[in-house]
Amino acid sequence: MSKQTSGKKATGKRTPDARTGGTRTGGRGGGRVPAPATEPAATPADAGGASRAAEVSRRRLLGTVGAAGAAGLVAGGAGGALAAHAAQDPAPTALTSIGATEVAFRKTHATHQAGITTPLQATGHLVAFDLAPDADRKSAAALLRRWSRTAEELMAGRVPDADTGVALDAGPSSLTVTFGLGHSFFGRTGLTKRRPVQLDPLPDFSADALDPQRSNGDLWIQIGADDALVAFHALRALQKDAAGSARLRWQMNGFNRTPGATARPMTARNLMGQIDGTNNPKPSDQDFDERIFVGRDAEQAWMRGGSYAVVRRIRMLLDDWEKRSRHEQEKVIGRRKANGAPLTGGSETTPMRLDATGSDGLPVIPANAHARIAAPASNQGAALLRRPFSYHDGFREDGAPDAGLLFVCWQADPLRAFTQIQRKLDRGDALSPFLRHEASGLFAVPPAAEPGGYVGRPLLEG
Ligand code: HEM
């Protein structure tokens, strides 16, 4: 990695994010965010030798001389008169707040990894790797160390020395890289005794049509960024890091709404047109941590502060769905399409009145409405944090779109959350006839790396 001057931490104000309940730094949803006035000075560690002095933060350079000039300079080896000029400029113009927004990688900022409570980004890649046949615990540790280093650098907006140039013009763009371990990882590394029971395979559900080739895997990475090139760049760098140690098992590419596309910050919409994410648990909820993150008394100490991700590729039968009237579609979910309000009235944030009946004596929110069946009240309090990406992989032979949701949900215990809710949905959710679950994965996502460490170190070296 190049040793450029210290990347700035988050700039701009933090705004609540309705989709994951988290906050982000920088502008979203069309709101104008004050651009950072200045870049922080280089840290003493960064301010070292003469060659380093000639190097300059990619973002600072961009802010001063413009993207095109900066890209050429950095790609050409940085340094030089322009770079030195840039470093001395007292009032550089900042990148847009979207490009400049940075999410921290290490535990100094949060116990859990980034990409869980981080607001949804516009582009996502979900990828699984299998360890090489001759892999062992040591080589797996070395891979996670390399991956963590790369993730930290890229999330801070720094580019590798011998880089492809793909992301040179952009800031970190809210890049997050999140690492998970699958059930099979533990057998491959001789660590089965330390495999948490929460990683036991998910049960079969009647609606499953799962493709094993696109399911599970030894290792999983979730990449998200508000710029597609930044996300691709990260994916490519991580794939190169894996060479010889692990090979790609499957990859899924997704997207969400572009920051600034809506006139105000709002909850995401999915490809069925519904506002999706309204009743997610919020970090401000008293029981949020308990529901989403592994507690301090967990049997496997290395997972404390971590979380479990369930990943499902869920194809939407959009040709069937779009034939239904808006009224019918709203009854399937139990909420209005336009604003996400429950059918019992109010606004998006008004609680659903599950016991309300209409003049016909029937429940206003139908007995099989998705939001009713998935609600904590119907599942002994079970809740999970949904953080999906939409996907569109072209068209199938019958002409139907191969499109849907890369459903990613987070919880402290999948058996008590995803499995409990999905079992219930499987038995009579009005949405199920419009969905096909085509791939599935369950991954243990350890807490964030300690300073100087890497993700999974307490497991691999403990
Ligand atoms: C493509 C598949 C799916 C679509 C399009 C979808 C769509 C929606 C929509 C529109 C809502 C209402 C708004 C909201 O609270 O977010 C909702 C709620 C919810 N969904 Fe789904 N969903 C899907 C799959 C799933 C799956 C697989 C699960 C879990 C196993 C799930 C769990 C939930 C939960 C827990 C809620 C909140 C219920 C509440 O507390 O009100 N969904 N979903």
For residue range 326-367, list pLDDT tens digits in order: 999 999 999 999 999 999 999 999 999 999 999 999 999 999
Check 130, 218, 226, 276 and give the catalytic one: 276
State the distance from the centre of ligand 1 to the C-alpha of 260, rounded, in angstroms: 24
| Residue 418 alpha carbon, nearest atom of ligand 1 | 30
Q: Write out pLDDT tens, residues 6-52.
A: 333 433 333 334 344 343 443 332 222 322 322 232 232 232 333 32
Q: State whether the beta carbon of 274 lies less than 6 angstroms from ligand 1.
A: yes
pLDDT band at 94 (very low <50, low <70, confident <90, very high): low
State the distance from the centre of ligand 1 to the C-alpha of 361, rounded, in angstroms: 26
Closest to 173 (Cα-Cα) out of 157, 153, 158, 160? 157
Q: Is the pTM of this model over 0.95?
A: no
In angstroms, rounded to a whole number, what is the distance separating the alpha carbons of residues 333 and 313? Answer: 19
State the distance from the centre of ligand 1 to the C-alpha of 280, rounded, in angstroms: 9
| Closest C-alpha to ligand 1, atom 26 | 422
The percent of residues in the chain predicted with pLDDT above 70, rounded, is: 79
Q: State whether the beta carbon of 329 lies less than 6 angstroms from ligand 1.
A: no
In angstroms, rounded to a whole number, what is the distance separating the alpha carbons of residues 371 and 273? Answer: 15
pLDDT band at 92 (very low <50, low <70, confident <90, very high): low
Q: State whether the beta carbon of 421 lies less than 6 angstroms from ligand 1.
A: yes
| Closest C-alpha to ligand 1, atom 28 | 422
Length of the chain: 462
Q: State whether the beta carbon of 404 lies less than 6 angstroms from ligand 1.
A: yes
State the distance from the centre of ligand 1 to the C-alpha of 389, rounded, in angstroms: 13
Contact 49, 56 (CB under 8 A): no
In angstroms, rounded to a whole number, what is the distance separating the alpha carbons of residues 216 and 214? Answer: 7
Q: Which two tokens stand for residue 379?
A: 């599942």
- Compute the Cα dihedral for 334, 339, 340, 342 and give only its sign: negative
Q: State whether the beta carbon of 374 lies less than 6 angstroms from ligand 1.
A: yes
pLDDT band at 96 (very low <50, low <70, confident <90, very high): confident
